[in-house]
A and B are shown apart, each in its own frame.
Chain A
Amino acid sequence: MVDRRPNPEELLRRVQAEERRETRGRLKVFLGYASRVGKSFRMFDEGRRRKERGQDVVIGALQRDVTPDVRDLVARFETLPMVDGAIDLVALFRRHPEVVLIDELAHDNPPGSRNRQRWQDLTELLDRGISVITAVNLQHIREQQDAVARITGKRAANSAPEGFLRSADEIEVVDAPPDTLLDRTGNSRIPDARALAELRELALLLAADVVDRQLQAYLDSHGVMARWGAQERILVCLTPRSDASRMLRSGHRNALRFHGALLAAYVQQDDLPPADKERLERHLTLAGELGAEVHCLAGADFVDTLLEFAREQRITQVFLGHTGHERRVPFLRSPVDRLIDAAEDFDIRLFPHQGDE
């Protein structure tokens, strides 16, 4: 790891964030991939443990039908009754517990309520210093609903924005094999085993992404630049003469298989002939179409610029093309040779030049 000195704005942002964190309640979300995965139980069980450790915990929202094991747990807490299916915010403000348990994050409040949706209620609770523990399933996260509908053919009516989930101090995945869900119910509302597995993968990857950003935020706030990550990050280096289409397509496929990130970068050159410029434009368009994050880099030296960018971006694989006209000159190392020598933190994959096959 390398120490990185933060700039003044970054420091100010950090101090402000720190201040907010001190007065604000903490948000913890249990994320499940489908109904009956056991997220309510896990949430109330966490509430129980906190209560046993002396925290003041109450229930602010309960679902209508609960399983017997959840019912036993619920009986241990003080429950603030809901009003027309909505959280009684005023009563909660007055009672002001340390922690409130909210079973089901995604909920539309009845017309005339103070907030249209429950997550907005929770924001108010957090602002007033009350910590919130809540639970949500994948199909109720707005930005995931298209993907879920493609798998199950159904769309849940209530939803909460993904941004709210990402703003949580902590999220915890509730995972269980699909067969346990099927066993428990025999309910036709539950998707089949294959659909459940797909939902499960989606939920795990969403959680991994949230955790990845938390890690990045943690490292940033501690002024640490990490050279490693848990995610594969592929950088395709574009030059006018390389076989960009093949590198980008391969990068795209690799990123998909690894559930990693795809970036494409080129180092600016001033004296580019028009034909090369045009080719480069086409490469950049294709990169955008394949979902790559495109970066234009400026720097005097191609190799140094690329190396610095790759380290900054925690790149794990660099895709590079032969240019097709490299002839070996004794004592003079080509850019490819120099990159290979200098790259310690990432793999370099060299691609054949178009004309070579």
Chain B
Amino acid sequence: MSGRGHLKIYLGYAAGVGKTYRMLEEAQALRQKGVDIVIGYFEPHGRKETIARTEGLETVPRRTLPYGGTSFEEMDTEAILQRKPAVALVDEFAHTNVPGSPREKRWQDVEMLLAAGIDVLSTMNVQHLESLNDQVWQVTGVRVRETVPDWVVDEAAEVVLVDLTPRALRNRIERGVVYAPEKAKRAMENFFAEANLTALREMAMRHTAHEVEERLTAPAPAPASKGHERILICLTGRPASANLIRRGKRVADYLQADCLALHVCLPSEKDPEAVERHLSFARHLRVETHTINASDVPKAVAEFARANQVTQIFMGRSLPRPLWQRYSETVVQRVVRLARDMQITIVAEGRR
């Protein structure tokens, strides 16, 4: 075995659509062909049909970690690396490991396996994609905490859609296949409401189509060429900046544009920690970040944008101001005026 392993992700739109089942079907087919395959991590959720599909597959035992007085079981990445199979099956790609684990996220464990030349089959739901976090919240009212940066999924060799109609999924939930009865009833009224499921399903289809297209299209035009877009995100310490970063990066990804983030640091910066969090969040999404010290934010933004061949500036809306200040321009208005030769996008903050 040489080189990096291949990652295949089974993408669904909710718990219970059959991702793990499909993954296990493939694992069984591989085993029959004589491929050396092991289960690195499998989450049975008490589902009988799924558990039955693990028959005959070797499992690498999980490791137990103590935390907060109880013990948690996590995937034993080191043991899998030592066992070194051709293929490892790793359920729940978006999972966050218990504190004290060698790595924070399961997708980082998977990175280790791939780097060691092991192929990985994994599962995740569309709502765990970082770029869809705000959209998912708007649709469902749920702020998903366990997210995976889009670039990690983009680097997978394959993303396969596991589809099931919302009606069939709701039937499954009603029959108690997915959750225990009391949890099922609550689920049906909330996250699993038909309109929610339909919207999430559409997102999963569109995202899979996007992943297919990404693997089809030639790389983006060279940075210097005409028509190449460069997007600049102006981030601050305000909470809405997270939304702004996700949105700007998502548009940049779809347009195959470069993506930069800028923070203009005022001498009077109120919340440097929040700014640092946002900068590091942007880097986590593979956005190139810059910080400059200046006292005039709009002027600094316009100058930076011009010096860096930016074609589009992404900003949040200015905060509403008290009446007595309204005769003066807002930051947005001034940037708009100073950078009239560029496209400026004022991002919706989203609400429910």
- How many chain B residues touch A (CB < 8 A): the figure is 56
Write out the residue numbers on chain B whose beta carbons fall within 8 Å of the beta carbon of A28.
Answer: 165
Write out the residue numbers on chain A whose beta carbons fall within 8 Å of the beta carbon of B254.
Answer: 254, 257-258
Q: How far is the CA of A344 from the CA of B200 in the complex (A)?
A: 22
Is A211 an interface residue, CB under 8 A from the partner? yes
* Contact A211 to B195, CB < 8 A, known contacts A175-B160, A198-B216, A204-B212: no
Q: Within A62-96, which residues are at the interface with B (CB < 8 Å)? A: none
Q: How far is the CA of A341 from the CA of B318 in the complex (A)?
A: 9
Interface-facing stretch out of B76-84, B105-113, B296-304, B343-351 = B343-351
Of A228, A331, A343, which contacts B138 at CB under 8 A? A228
Is A173 an interface residue, CB under 8 A from the partner? yes
* Contact A347 to B346, CB < 8 A, known contacts A173-B163, A201-B216, A340-B332: yes
Min distance, Cβ A178 to any Cβ of chain B, angstroms: 9
Min distance, Cβ A239 to any Cβ of chain B, angstroms: 16
Chain B 136-169, CB-CB to A under 8 Å as 1, else 0, gives 0011000000000000000000101111110110
Is A215 an interface residue, CB under 8 A from the partner? yes
Q: How far is the CA of A159 from the CA of B213 in the complex (A)?
A: 26
Of A177, A205, A218, A347, which contacts B209 at CB under 8 A? A205
> Is B195 a contact of A340 with CB atoms below 8 Å?
no
Closest to B336 in A: A350
Is B60 an interface residue, CB under 8 A from the partner? no
Is A352 an interface residue, CB under 8 A from the partner? yes
> Is B209 a contact of A259 with CB atoms below 8 Å?
yes
Closest to B196 in A: A215
Is A117 an interface residue, CB under 8 A from the partner? no
> Is A356 a contact of B209 with CB atoms below 8 Å?
no
> Is A215 a contact of B202 with CB atoms below 8 Å?
yes
Of A177, A230, A337, A343, which contacts B8 at CB under 8 A? A177
Is A346 an interface residue, CB under 8 A from the partner? yes
> Is B163 a contact of A212 with CB atoms below 8 Å?
no
Is B317 an interface residue, CB under 8 A from the partner? yes
> Is B206 a contact of A205 with CB atoms below 8 Å?
yes
Min distance, Cβ A73 to any Cβ of chain B, angstroms: 14
Q: How far is the CA of A275 from the CA of B286 in the complex (A)?
A: 48
Q: How far is the CA of A228 from the CA of B137 in the complex (A)?
A: 10
Min distance, Cβ A138 to any Cβ of chain B, angstroms: 13
Write out the residue numbers on chain B whose beta carbons fall within 8 Å of the beta carbon of A214.
Answer: 198
Is A207 an interface residue, CB under 8 A from the partner? yes
Is B199 an interface residue, CB under 8 A from the partner? yes
Q: How far is the CA of A350 from the CA of B333 in the complex (A)?
A: 11
Write out the residue numbers on chain B whose beta carbons fall within 8 Å of the beta carbon of A317.
Answer: 345
> Is A349 a contact of B198 with CB atoms below 8 Å?
no
> Is A328 a contact of B346 with CB atoms below 8 Å?
no
Closest to A208 in B: B205
Write out the residue numbers on chain B whose beta carbons fall within 8 Å of the beta carbon of A182.
Answer: none
Is A124 an interface residue, CB under 8 A from the partner? no
Residues of A that sit less than 8 Å from B by CB: 28, 169-177, 179, 194, 197-198, 200-201, 204-205, 207-208, 211-212, 214-215, 218-219, 222, 224, 226-231, 250, 253-254, 257-259, 317, 322, 328, 330-331, 336-337, 340-341, 343-353, 356-357
Residues of B that sit less than 8 Å from A by CB: 8, 135, 138-139, 158, 160-165, 167-168, 194-195, 198-203, 205-206, 208-210, 212-213, 215-216, 247, 254-256, 312, 317, 320, 326-327, 329, 332-333, 336-337, 340-351
Q: Mind listing 20 A-B residue pairs with CB under 8 Å?
A: A172-B163, A172-B164, A197-B215, A197-B216, A201-B216, A204-B208, A204-B212, A211-B201, A211-B202, A218-B195, A218-B198, A231-B202, A330-B327, A331-B326, A336-B336, A343-B348, A346-B348, A347-B247, A351-B343, A352-B342
